[in-house]
Amino acid sequence: MPKLLEIIDPLPLDEGNSDTINEDTFHCKTREGDNTGTMNDHTSTTDTFISENLSKEITNIDDFKIFKLKKMVDNTILSQRWITEGVIPPTIECKNLSKEIIIRLYEEFQLFPHRISATVEEGIYVDYINEENGRELSIEIYNDLDAAALITKDDCIIISMDINLSINYDSEIRMLINSFYGK
């Protein structure tokens, strides 16, 4: 299970040496102790989350994680190199469907993606890694709103399937999760 990262407070700015400490550096506390980490491009997401949620009480970190997942998908872009070769970047509809799937997997199964990126197959790629058994779950959601999943271990395919988002969605998701966890 990944470490829980909790932002305590930003470190003070060092006016004379802004290359080493800046507003993107936070003092962080993990379950295993204290350290200093950089949030880089995540600072604006944190600031946005805080400003959008000042009027409501956040009782757990799940609200922030869901907000972060949505922002990760929204900010997914395709490399300019692929665009110049005629590949179409993920559409808004594709991103919205991707967010639905990713958030469902997080809310129901506590799965947080290892990677979210745009694909040359014209859609969104989501990758999950099970550190306990070495399995990897890869999901692609395409601009035509089809979706497919693949579970592998040591470069061997365990399961490959199209995800039917209307008929057997619940049973297909549960079958994927069971296979991902090795059940």
pTM > 0.75: no
Q: pLDDT band for position 173 (50/70/90)?
A: confident
**Res. 12: pLDDT tops 80:** no
User: What pLDDT does residue 170 have?
Assistant: 81
Q: Which pLDDT does position 167 carry in this prediction? A: 67
**pLDDT tens-digit readout, 17-52:** 322 222 333 333 333 333 333 333 444 555 555 555
Rounded CA gap, 48 and 42, in Å?
A: 10
Q: Which pLDDT belongs to residue 8?
A: 35
Mean local confidence (pLDDT), 140-159: 95
Question: What is the pLDDT at residue 84?
Answer: 94
Tally Cβ neighbours within 10 Å of residue 154.
8
At 38 the pLDDT is 33
Structure tokens at 130: 């099970």
State residue 42's pLDDT score. Answer: 42
Residue type, 22: N
Q: What 3-state DSSP class applies to 143?
A: coil
Query: Tens digits of per-residue pLDDT, 93-143?
Result: 999 999 999 999 999 999 999 999 999 999 999 999 999 999 999 999 999
State the DSSP string of 29-87.
EETTEEEEEE-TTHHHHHHHHHHHTTTS---STHHHHHHHHHHHHHT----HHHHHTTP
| 3-state SS class at 123 | strand
For residue 56, name the pLDDT band (cuts at 50, 70, 90). low
**Across 71-80, 97-106, 158-167, least confident range:** 158-167
H helices, E strands: number in the chain = 5, 8
Whether 105 contacts 112, CB under 8 Å: no
Contact predicate 78/87, CB 8 Å: yes
Residue 149 near residue 176 (C-beta atoms within 8 A):
yes
Q: Is the pLDDT of residue 159 over 80?
A: yes
The reported pLDDT for the residue numbered 182 is 86
